[in-house]
Structure 1
Amino acid sequence: MTVTALHDGDPAPRAHEAGANIAAPARAATPAPTPTASVPASPPAPLAASKPVRVRIPAAGVDTAPVLELGLAADGSVEVPSVADADRIGWYREGVTPGQTGPAVLIGHFDTVEGPAVLRDVARIHPGDTITVDRADGSAAVFAVRTVEQVDKEHFPTQRVYGDTARPELRVITCGGDLRDGHRPDNIIVYADLLRTSAVSPGGTRPSAG
């Protein structure tokens, strides 16, 4: 099975692209392994499908809306936000929505040719930090970070990122590593598990019953 590397529509990734060489998901018959880590003692029930509209990652100073929708380009690569949308995060719409069973995938730039971008402080994210995704149906999915890994783009863990999971999970992907010839050689991947769900109110969020 051929897996196409992600880029932004060019034959090769451009400098500073958040998703450069993130592989498109290959269809798998078996669940993917995930990094070893603790999970919530009583995992909350999965949510129904509803598109993400806002992403908050307090540890990294992220609070951005609306959320972009990213799909597959004509050549089979995964789309990434444009340079003009460097301050926004995109959701891979071919996967599940945040809060559903499975791995929901968010992608954002670390930087672009125009400077620092939405995930410039990704290094401040650590296990135990929370990521809140507000959804179009008025609910919010709150995830707890399980682990953060930095990988060479040439060895992107496609199955670990996109493979089936038994519970609602989240991935946040950006670039990493020192600049080499105008681009960053690595991807930083944040893995998180659904911690709780909330109902969104005008004043913010409040925990749902139960």
Structure 2
Amino acid sequence: MKLHGGRRRTYGRLIAALAAGGVLLTGCGGAGGGGGPLAASEPVRVRIPSAGVDTSPVLRLGLAADGSVQVPSVADGDKIGWYTGGVTPGETGPAVLIGHFDTARGPAVLRDVSRVRTGDEITVTRADGAAAVFRVRELEQVDKRHFPTDKVYGNTPRPELRLITCGGEIKDGHRPDNIILYADLVG
């Protein structure tokens, strides 16, 4: 799985490169907003009760040599990663979490993402001990060739969360779509 993208505040060059080259998340195998911004603190645990997810530790993901956003390895298919080029969950802006739906080894951490509905909560426990609670306001499934880079990574006036995985029926050994959950900090 490979993801291209980045945070607008500090990656103007990356956004320009993405606009020129397109955005992909590849290689996947077989409303509200009442919470105020929090100080920076890295995520250590992610809970999504509706999808049966409770995973720790949270992996640190950066950029690969080709400019794409790293994703968890196949061996770490049971974990979620946080894109370190963006804000930490709870800070103003879009924090980005990435996990596999499945890998060559079988079902992965986000295998039950289809159970998530708008209004469901995602809780991210942070290194400072605070729990940032987000409420899902939108779910989107898009063809990877039309990944909404600016919508996912562009600046926001409040703390938000993006959770990205793969979706769609397997074609040529890969899932052709991305499933993106957009959530707002509520507590």
TM bin (shorter chain): 0.7 to 0.9
Contact 1:171-1:192 at 8 Å conserved across structures: yes
Which residue among 59, 75, 86 is the counterpart of 2:50? Answer: 59
Alignment of 1:41-120 (within 5 A): 43-120=34-111
Distance, in Å, in 2 between the alignment partners of 1:45 and 1:159 is 23
* Root-mean-square deviation over aligned CA pairs: 1.3
Give every structure 1 segment of 4 or more consecutive aligned residues whose post-TM-superposition deviation is greater than 3 Å. Answer: 4-7
Contact 1:6-1:78 at 8 Å conserved across structures: no
Match of 1:208 in 2: none
Distance, in Å, in 1 between the alignment partners of 2:184 and 2:77 is 26
Q: Which has the higher contact order (CA 8 A, sep 6+)?
A: 2
> What percentage of aligned pairs have identical amino acids?
70
Say yes or no: does 1:14 pair with 2:32.
Answer: no
Distance, in Å, in 1 between the alignment partners of 2:35 and 2:76 is 33
Which residue among 185, 192, 200 is the counterpart of 2:183? Answer: 192
Q: Larger C-alpha radius of gyration, 1 or 2?
A: 1
SS in 2 for 1:2: helix
Contact 1:15-1:184 at 8 Å conserved across structures: yes
Amino acid at match of 1:157: P
Contact 1:6-1:79 at 8 Å conserved across structures: no
1:126-164 deviation per Cα after TM superposition (whole angstroms, max 9, x unaligned): 000000000000101000000101000000000000000
Alignment of 1:165-204 (within 5 A): 165-196=156-187
Contact 1:172-1:191 at 8 Å conserved across structures: yes
Report the structure, 1 or 2, having the larger helix content. 2
Distance, in Å, in 1 between the alignment partners of 2:24 and 2:144 is 10
Change (3 A) 1:15 1:65: closer
**Aligned residues, how many?**
169
Distance, in Å, in 1 between the alignment partners of 2:137 and 2:81 is 21
SS in 1 for 2:41: coil
Contact 1:169-1:194 at 8 Å conserved across structures: yes
Distance, in Å, in 1 between the alignment partners of 2:84 and 2:48 is 20
TM-score by length of 1: 0.78
Change (3 A) 1:6 1:79: farther
1:22-70 deviation per Cα after TM superposition (whole angstroms, max 9, x unaligned): xxxxxxxxxxxxxxxx324xx2220000000000000000000000000
